[in-house]
Amino acid sequence: MDRPNGPTPAVRPVDAEERDRRAAANAGEPTVEFTGQTPYDAYVRASTLHGLQQPVSDDPGEMSFLMVSQIMELYFGLVCHELREAQRLIDRDDVRGALAPLRRAELHLAGLVASWQSLRWMTPADFNKFRDLLGEGSGFQSAMYRHLEFRLGLRNAKLIRPFRQDPAVHAELTAGLAAPSLWDATIALLARRGHDLPAELLDRDPAQEHEPHPAVERAWTRIYADTGPDNDLRLLGEALTEVAEQFGDWRYLHVKAVQRTMGAKVGSGGSAGLTWLQRSMARVVFPELWSARTFM
């Protein structure tokens, strides 16, 4: 998924010399006169962002639900961006280079986790004020969240079926499902670094969800046994662990938010709601990184 970000913002570049001249001319005060759009809005597109909230009810609490949902969508896209860059570098054997986008992804996921705090006020009575007006709308239908799951190695072809009526989105998700995940790329890296991994593991269909394999577990056990400063694979393992842990925290808080607002009711999108989410949580991201710890 490499969708363009739209037209280049109409921001005029300036250098340090021009900034110094402007500060001297303004006697240290900020510039307040611009011709046309402010440079901040041209770059951030804040006016566009703040025009995207269109509540379906008159309940003032709905704005929290809507905006936090939109914030989470932005975070999904940002984490996907970072993981895609990390995977590109891993494919090039630049392990130390991949640590920076993985660290950023972990911090973005921490922000995503914190987003749930903004909805802790919501009781069943609060949610019920506008829930019916959402129709069949559900976070289950987030295409960007599916991209994030696919990038992390969680694969389920059925989950792209809701997008068949949007050919562009469906095509992107189909391509994402068929492409190797970050975990697939990591396993291939381990093989290139000399770890004994079977061909059927390396040549498997990436559209199928990875099944934990003892050979991968043994590889991580050996990697972690080397605590020297030059062991970049161990650093990679820890960076991936942080990403997986933050993602797991987000999923856990999602379950708690559903329990808080609707208990075990049927989900808006037709699923079993809480039960379905709990089953989803059982699918572990980067599984051998966790199981190998038993043998370290």
Query: Would you say 131 is a known binding-site residue?
Result: yes
Nearest to 280 by CA among 209, 232, 226: 209
- The conformation of residue 128, written as its DSSP 8-state character, comes to H
Give dist(CA 247, CA 141) in Å, integer.
18
Q: How big is the CA angle at 76 (ends 125 and 207), to the nearest 5 degrees?
A: 115
3-state secondary structure 14-40: CCHHHHHHHHHHCCCCCCCCCCCCCHH
Give dist(CA 147, CA 283) in Å, integer.
16
Element (H, E) at 235: helix 232-262
Structure tokens at 87: 């995977």
- Tell me the torsion sign for CA atoms 41, 44, 45, 46: negative
Annotated binding site for substrate: 131
Annotated binding site for heme: 254
